[in-house]
Amino acid sequence: IDQTVDMDSATNEGKWGGGYLTAKIEGGMHYQGRRWGGSNTYNARETFKSYGAKFGYMDDKAREGLLPRVPQSHRDFLRSLEWVHDCKVAFKPYRLLAVHAGLNNEGKLEPQLKALKKRDIFADALLSQKGRFYAFSERDKVSGMHPELKDKAYLVSGHHGYREVT
């Protein structure tokens, strides 16, 4: 990540006045992280609870209580995760991709995959709006198979709300 970028202004459109952490954080904090840690929307409460930290809706001090409880090995693990896993499999169509929420069905496939593999938080191909990622937080435009992957791969993702897979 480019350390010269102010994460707060670079990732927040500025039109949202609530539902996220507002504390001043050295180096800034990505808007998506501020939303996760400051609202009830993303079930952050369960993560805080699993580390024995108190969660409070839009409570800037809650972050301070969580950080020292997260072991370095957990931080390292989370930092090491791929944003997209693309692999060959032994069954037709011989390719599987896994992306948290999915891929933008209206965008070109290769720019999305390239940006996900590079973990490029500023890539236009990944952003549904400033500071929001299709691959991590979108629902509507990631539903179903990306048209360029149809009959060429399996796509595993979780923001579809389907109870059954056909």
pLDDT tens column, 36-76 = 777 777 778 898 999 999 988 878 888 889 999 999 999 99
Strand (E) positions, 4-149?
A: 84-88, 95-99, 127-129, 132-133
| Higher pLDDT, residue 145 or 35 | 145
Q: Which of 23-32, 82-91, 134-143 has the highest mean pLDDT?
A: 82-91
Report which secondary-structure segment, H or E, holds 119: none
Confidence (pLDDT) at 77: 95
pLDDT, mean of residues 123-146: 81
Confidence (pLDDT) at 89: 96
The structure tokens 């699993």 sit at 50
* Average pLDDT for the chain: 83
Confidence (pLDDT) at 93: 96
pLDDT tens column, 126-136 = 887 766 788 88
Alpha-carbon span 30 to 7, nearest angstrom:
5
| Higher pLDDT, residue 42 or 3 | 42
Q: Which long-range contacts (CB under 8 A, 24 or more apart) does 7-16 make?
A: 7/31, 10/122, 11/121, 11/130, 11/131, 12/130, 12/131, 13/129, 13/130, 13/131
